[in-house]
Structure 1
Amino acid sequence: MSAATTAARATRTRPRLSPDFLRLWWADGISAIGDGVTIAAAPLLATRLTDDPRLIVAASVAFTAPFVLFGIPAGLLVDRLDLRRTMMWVNLARAGLLAVLAAGIVGGWAGLPLLYFSMFLLGTGDVFCRNAAQVLVPSITPREDLAVANARIMATQEAGAGFVGPLVGALLFGVAVALPFGLDAVTFLCSAILLSRIRYRRPAATPTATAGLLSEMLVGAKWLWRHYLLRSLALLSCLINLAGSAMLAVLVVHSAEVLRLSPFGYGALLACQAVGAVLASRFAPMLARRLGREGALVATAVLIAISELVLAIAPIPYAAGVALALFSCGTVTWNVVVVVLRQTLVPTHLLGRANSVYRLISWGGLPIGAATGGFLAAAAGTPAVFGAGAAAMGVVAVALLLGARRHWISRVEQDVRPCTTVEDRAKEER
């Protein structure tokens, strides 16, 4: 093989990630660190204000409730608005909100109501930004590099929100309770500045005179519900999120009462998730190629089930750290496979709305899981929460195995075709 041929092949296989994607990647990574800081600090603040597991997990419920309440409206707005400007202003608003929360802590007037209110608004902003970012990525990234681009973003999110952020948040919380929230405000400000430098502007959809808001929202819902594969994956994602949300919501209680860890130990426990995330980001595309998308999804469900089971039966900090790494490895691999499927199977003009409906279904498990975990932990202890999660993931693994035997993903990918003409769009929206 000649040197020229080798160089040409290397050029074809090397990801061609644009400067705009790199700015988005950096903006997302910086805000992810801030998210991790708050993810560690908010439950710790709740434990300072109450010792009731139900009131502690209410902070997680407040953060995840907007995923259900505003999922579809967010998708509609994403299809209509300038994504760059939307994400920039949302991050500026979140920076201001966290500054108010930090000031309230310093002033001594920040209680559970302010914490719940702040987490609710932060979750609302997260719904819009995540939806917008997933629609923006395929617009600034070549189709053949989508798996790599999504894997990098997810790895950065997990490394920031799951490793660097929790460690920094737990350390700063020990120094001064308000510091973690002040730092998160700064990260959102930096993220907004980076987003303002993105040159690409995705044209906002022009509203039609005959289509109302409700009918436009229903277009994405009808399209997704008619798509058997994506509908099934959305329902399975709901079960995964329900089990994972319950686990993470009671982890701060489990850390203190069962594992006997300090606040910094809790932050270090959260940071173990980043190990699995980084491994998954590097090997998820390869795993999908080796096992096929069906096999990769089955493997992720098994990993998550094992992680929940280990937490339930092994009250040892090191075992809990390994379990969280396995959990993160499974969830990141799942997201890499499923997000690319949505980006390639859903028509571009419906991507925002279809994504929002998918998220409404899959993320609907987040607040339900957090609330259920709090009540179950109060009644039967935290190990019971993890045991129930392991059982739920066993059901998911069996469902995925049955789908894999029918090659349900491969058959759909063979039939997919681009929807580009006006006639095609009219058929998709009917």
Structure 2
Amino acid sequence: MTVVAARPGLGRDYSRLWWGASVSAIGDGVTIAAAPLLAASLTDDPRLIGAASVAFTAPFVLFGIPAGLLVDRLDLRKMMVRVDLVRAALLALLAVGIVGGWAGLPLFYACMFLLGVGEVLCRNAAQVLVPFIAPESGLSTANARVMAAQEAGTGFVGPLLGALLFSVAVALPFGLDAATFVCSAILISGIRRNRPVEARPPAAGMWSEMMAGARWLARHHLLRTLALLSCLINLAGNAMLAVLVVHSTRVLHLTAFGYGIMLACQAVGAVLASRFAPALTRRLGREAALVATAALIATSEAVLATVPSPYAAGAALALFACGTVTWNVVVVVLRQTLVPRHLLGRANSVYRLVAWGGLPIGAAAGGIVAAAAGTPAVFGIGAVVMAAVAAALLVGARRHWITRAERAGAAPESGEDGR
């Protein structure tokens, strides 16, 4: 799979951000494949295996709003470099613990939790940084290419490499991921342009500052509704992903490497979607594109629930990735253009708090349902949830809610928080 590199027209700083995202995404993909396999080697309880995903995604809920305040107030470049170095140290510690034989579930869960904290900070910071280092006319392309790099790394190159390295030595995938974070930190440290850091201290208190983004988002009907629908999408999707390793071994009878190949099918769909999503959304219109994404995800869950075939599962994961990447391309650009820039970090963090709140809930629910009724039941419930999301999006599309929101302007009402 060839990843499309960033073109010079988007600038040197964007290229460094893109390469940093690409390198760390490969490491993330290695861990995405290796972490469930490590959990499955430590326990055969689907609930405890799913708990790894809960540990990683819980920080999205617990630290979402404070992370937004930090992103709006700190130097983005320095923060991303420091967080990458801390994540490298955490993964190195886990690798040493595996080699030494003292890395049990408690250490594994702790590392996943702290890695999730770093993910909250860096994902938010990167999305805020893009509008400052890429031209506004190229935002859709810039975001799509970052997503392509992330999906190719986390879904194709990384999982195949992670599954292969895990079969050689359990600690190798986590050591490699640590090295990729170091490389990412070096690349990002070379970015010259940056979001200006506000020199004066905020006049309002810290709580008021953190809640400014929440107040703005609560008044914006379009983004508020998209955040709630994103929560349902993440709930259904993460429930599926949390038990996928159980489904692959118990129902599809795949080896560890076969599980990596199945994850790679997801990346194929993601990279294709990232290449064509901007043009597709221009052709269909963004409202229709969002309806199509929900329908694709519902179809993928239905296939996983009803067809016990590795080939059908691979095709379903490709459809799932097509839907999620297209959704992100549309929604991320909407947030970057509709939210006032001085509130972008905080509004993003509140949006993520709502949207990503479905991740730990979905992971926990997926493990519980799989233990009680089997993995196909998890996918079947997900298909029903996504069909309901598609119906809600269709109602919004018929009312042209995106076009109406853009015509109304970025701020839903006047005031200090929406200036």
Q: TM-score range by the shorter chain?
A: over 0.9
CA distance in 1, matches of 2:223, 2:70: 22
CA distance in 1, matches of 2:417, 2:352: 24
Corresponding residue number in structure 1 for 2:416: 426
Equivalent in 277, 282, 291 of residue 284 of structure 2: 291
Alignment of 1:271 with 2:264, yes or no, is yes
Corresponding residue number in structure 2 for 1:130: 123
1:15 positional shift: 7.9
Compute the RMSD of aligned alpha carbons: 1.5
Aligned partner of residue 368 in structure 1, secondary structure: helix
Deviations 1:307-340 (A, max 9, x none): 0000000000000000000000000000000000
The one-letter code sitting in structure 2 at the alignment partner of 1:57 is G
1:17-56 equivalent positions in 2, closer than 5 A: 17-56=10-49
Displaced runs of 4 or more, over 3 A: 206-210
Corresponding residue number in structure 2 for 1:72: 65
Q: Indicate if the aligned counterparts of 2:159 and 2:261 stay in contact, CA closer than 8 A.
A: yes
Distance 1:35 1:209, change over 3 A: closer
CA distance in 1, matches of 2:8, 2:281: 17
Alignment of 1:230 with 2:223, yes or no, is yes
CA distance in 2, matches of 1:207, 1:363: 32
The one-letter code sitting in structure 2 at the alignment partner of 1:74 is A
1:146-157 equivalent positions in 2, closer than 5 A: 146-157=139-150
1:208 positional shift: 3.5
Alignment of 1:380 with 2:373, yes or no, is yes
Equivalent in 401, 404, 417 of residue 397 of structure 2: 404
1:413 positional shift: 1.4
Corresponding residue number in structure 2 for 1:83: 76
CA distance in 2, matches of 1:104, 1:58: 20
1:231-246 equivalent positions in 2, closer than 5 A: 231-246=224-239
1:415 positional shift: 2.4
CA distance in 1, matches of 2:114, 2:416: 36
Alignment of 1:159 with 2:152, yes or no, is yes
1:213 positional shift: 1.0
The one-letter code sitting in structure 2 at the alignment partner of 1:53 is P
1:278 positional shift: 1.1
Corresponding residue number in structure 1 for 2:333: 340
1:183-262 equivalent positions in 2, closer than 5 A: 183-206=176-199, 208=201, 210-262=203-255
Deviations 1:185-242 (A, max 9, x none): 0000000000111111322224545311110011100000100000000000000000
Corresponding residue number in structure 1 for 2:105: 112
The one-letter code sitting in structure 1 at the alignment partner of 2:418 is E
Q: Indicate if the aligned counterparts of 2:340 and 2:410 stay in contact, CA closer than 8 A.
A: no
1:287 positional shift: 1.1
CA distance in 1, matches of 2:201, 2:230: 33
1:158 positional shift: 0.3
1:139 positional shift: 0.6
1:417 positional shift: 5.4
1:416 positional shift: 1.8
Question: What TM-score results when the alignment is normalised by the length of structure 1?
Answer: 0.94
Distance 1:417 1:375, change over 3 A: closer
Aligned partner of residue 261 in structure 1, secondary structure: coil
Q: Indicate if the aligned counterparts of 1:15 and 1:148 stay in contact, CA closer than 8 A.
A: no
Q: Indicate if the aligned counterparts of 1:15 and 1:145 stay in contact, CA closer than 8 A.
A: no
Corresponding residue number in structure 1 for 2:358: 365
Q: Indicate if the aligned counterparts of 2:133 and 2:194 stay in contact, CA closer than 8 A.
A: no
The one-letter code sitting in structure 1 at the alignment partner of 2:219 is R
Aligned partner of residue 28 in structure 1, secondary structure: helix
Count matched residues. 413
CA distance in 1, matches of 2:203, 2:386: 44
CA distance in 1, matches of 2:203, 2:58: 32
Q: Indicate if the aligned counterparts of 2:337 and 2:410 stay in contact, CA closer than 8 A.
A: no
The one-letter code sitting in structure 2 at the alignment partner of 1:366 is L
Aligned partner of residue 10 in structure 2, secondary structure: coil
Deviations 1:125-145 (A, max 9, x none): 000000000000011111110
The one-letter code sitting in structure 1 at the alignment partner of 2:416 is A
Q: Indicate if the aligned counterparts of 2:216 and 2:417 stay in contact, CA closer than 8 A.
A: no
1:425 positional shift: 6.7
**Structure 1 residue runs without a partner (length 5+):** 1-13
Equivalent in 377, 388, 391 of residue 395 of structure 1: 388
CA distance in 1, matches of 2:340, 2:409: 10
